[in-house]
Structure 1
Amino acid sequence: MILPKALEDQFWQEFKQFEQERTMRYITTGERIGYERGIVEGKQALILKLLKRRLGELSPEIEQHIQSLSLNQLEALGEALLDFATMTDLSDWLQTN
């Protein structure tokens, strides 16, 4: 099928725009690592804040332990802390996870 020149030009302009809108931006390894680190640090900060509000001040050892948790462990702790009533609950969770 051959399009008239005006329609062919319009088609190619719209096609180029379509491709540009669908193109994914390249993320360098450094950017990806920084992004992931930011997510982990944000979750750590939020969980520490929630634990302090629920249980009171945390010892430096407990804070350090929480900061060493993996992302999956942080997410699990975020759910578990809703059931904590005492510092013992937190300590027990940290020992088993």
Structure 2
Amino acid sequence: MVDSCNEFDSPWKEAIEEYFEDYMVFFFPFIPPDIDWTRGYDFLDKELQQVVRDAVVGKRWADKLVKVWRQDGQETWVLIHIEIQSQEEADFAQRMYTYNYRLRDRYGLPIISLAVLGDERHTWRPDRFRTSVWQCTVDFQFPIVKLLDY
């Protein structure tokens, strides 16, 4: 039996690898102008799997981790964590936060988390994880793209 999530995710992963710059321009046009495309980019799937393997919150599918260089000339790089989500999932925003902080903790670099939502529910648009206890608040927001909008 073929897992429908894997059936949906695999072509996306391949397309991102083959057309990464075009993918970013189409879905997240505010980001590519800040990327130094002349320096190239690297897919860091092994590094991502190390972080994901240790995660303990529910079922996880992390799709792509890409190292890019910014235009500002600094010797810094940004990891772009791209998540393709084909089904509604109650803990999706929390999972995005977990990946983000685990990657930041491991590499000490800014992590940009992006999500493409491929489900069929118009109103499901998880773009924020927020938790607060006794005035200690975590508020994590991330850009999403909903395929139904296209």
Same structural fold, with TM-score higher than 0.5 when normalized by the shorter chain: no
Q: Which has the larger radius of gyration?
A: 1
Higher relative helix content: 1
Structure number with greater CO (CA < 8 Å, separation at least 6) is: 1
Higher relative strand content: 2
Using the size of structure 2 for normalisation, the TM-score is: 0.20
